[in-house]
Amino acid sequence: MATVTSFEALSTPTRMELKQFAELFRPLYEHSTPEARRQAVAALSRLETLPQAVCFFVGSEPIGTAAIFLSQSPAISDATLIDIARSQGEPHARAIATRSNLSPIVVDALAALHDGSSYRRNAKPATETVHLTEAEAAPAIATASAQEEIQSAHAEPSHAQAVPELARLAREEALRNELRQLVAAKAPEDVRPAVMLRAADEMSQALLVRFARARQMPLFARVMTDVLDASAALSERILLDVSGQQLASTLIALGLRPADTRQILTGIYPHLAQIVDGRNRAFQLVRSLDPAECVARVIAWRRADIYTRTGLYEDVEADVAAQAVAAAGNNNDAAVEKRSARS
């Protein structure tokens, strides 16, 4: 994740940097945990520039890991998408088919893989006769009618030229419709999950502490964005609170140890290192926050962030019991029991 985060920080990577990343990524990826692999793939799926060797390697991973990369990454070339679809099979082809900006070349390649033919755009001879099935009849008739209207408005081609062209357009439209129906029929139902919050893993916690101590704020914000699974705008808004309360709430909700939380707070906000009544301000701030309330607060921020980005509102009931369970799941159970006993 440190390698991926460092590569993300490059606004315009040079050819040498792309080559170095391609050489480093695969061995590091193969020796990482499944959770670190998923986080790395999710981070790479947002980048606009990647070596195609890395794109092919990540896209050829099991579909549970590669699906988000195949469906969203803007860095994959058409040739790499076609190679992955041909070599990995139907699940990967279905993930590729969900991309919103498929080129005609990729669509034709996916359609050819689906029906088992070697059909390619403009590959049919002019004299070839195309036989349409009943399922293809409707789009074929609509395409033929539209073509006839265009022909009547402009110069009329000869009959020998018009028939193969109409057949080719009808065949193309039928294959596109068949591919769309296949994806719609086999794609899982789009059920929006509830907005939940998972604890940060050990690697993410170590990166947060390291970047805070070095005051590398762009890298710190990127790691926190990945851990929160939110937008960069949310991380920036949290860090802009110079009182440190929003960041402290976030770190507690993510399950960081109190010592690490205080170290991060004093590294980013030096005024919290001031000693008051024998303790620094960071210690008093962390002690004043309820872990269950921190979890509920961060979940609310993430829900608002999702609504801002997508316009979708996740209606999630977060009562006191659920908050306490979530806080306990983030290694804050002792603090929750202490707060409950105090109440």
- Using CB atoms within 10 Å of the CB of residue 245, give its burial: 0 to 12 exposed, 13 to 18 middle, 19+ buried: middle
Beta carbons within 10 angstroms of residue 333's beta carbon = 14
Question: CA-CA distances (angstroms) from residue 39 to 19, 29, 72, 177?
Answer: 22, 11, 15, 34
Confidence of residue 224 (pLDDT cuts 50, 70, 90): very high
**Is the predicted pLDDT of residue 52 greater than 80, yes or no?**
yes
pLDDT in tens, 153-197: 444 444 455 566 677 777 777 777 777 666 666 544 444 444 457
**What local confidence, expressed as pLDDT, does residue 104 receive?**
85
Residue range 42-67: average pLDDT? 89
Q: State the average pLDDT over residues 314-328.
A: 46
For residues 69 and 59, the answer to whether their CB atoms sit within 8 Å is yes
Q: Which long-range contacts (CB under 8 A, 24 or more apart) does 336-341 make?
A: 336/290, 336/291, 336/292, 339/290, 339/291, 339/292
Higher pLDDT, 1 or 251: 251
pLDDT at position 105: 86
Q: Is residue 266 pLDDT above 90, yes or no? A: yes
Residue predicted with more confidence, 260 or 2: 260
- pLDDT > 70: percent of the chain: 70
Which pLDDT tens digit goes with each residue over 84-113?
Answer: 988 888 888 888 988 888 888 888 888 887
Answer whether residue 130 shows pLDDT above 90.
no
Mean pLDDT of 308-333: 52
Residues 6+ apart with CB under 8 A from 161: 126
Residue 306: band (very low, low, confident or very high) from pLDDT cuts 50, 70, 90: confident
Q: What is the mean pLDDT of the chain?
A: 75
What is the mean pLDDT of the segment spanning 36-64?
89
The pTM assigned to this predicted structure is 0.39
pLDDT of residue 163: 62
Question: Given this model, what pLDDT does residue 115 score?
Answer: 60
CA distance 330 to 253: 7
More confident residue, 233 or 127: 233
- Top pLDDT among 95 and 332 is at 95
271: confidence class by pLDDT, cuts 50, 70, 90: very high
Residue 323 CA to residue 291 CA, distance in Å, equals 9
pLDDT at 288 over 80: yes
C-alpha to C-alpha distance for 66 and 98, rounded to whole angstroms: 13
pLDDT band at 152 (very low <50, low <70, confident <90, very high): very low
Low-confidence winner among 28-42, 121-135, 243-257 (lowest mean pLDDT): 121-135
Q: Is 90 exceeded by the pLDDT of residue 269?
A: yes
Tell me, what amino acid is at 137?
Answer: A
**Least trusted range by pLDDT, from 138-152, 179-193, 195-209:** 138-152
What pLDDT was estimated at residue 149?
47
> With left for phi above 0 and alpha for psi between -120 and 50, is residue 255 left, alpha or beta?
left
Question: Residue 26: what pLDDT?
Answer: 87
Q: How confident is the model at residue 140 (pLDDT cuts 50, 70, 90)?
A: very low
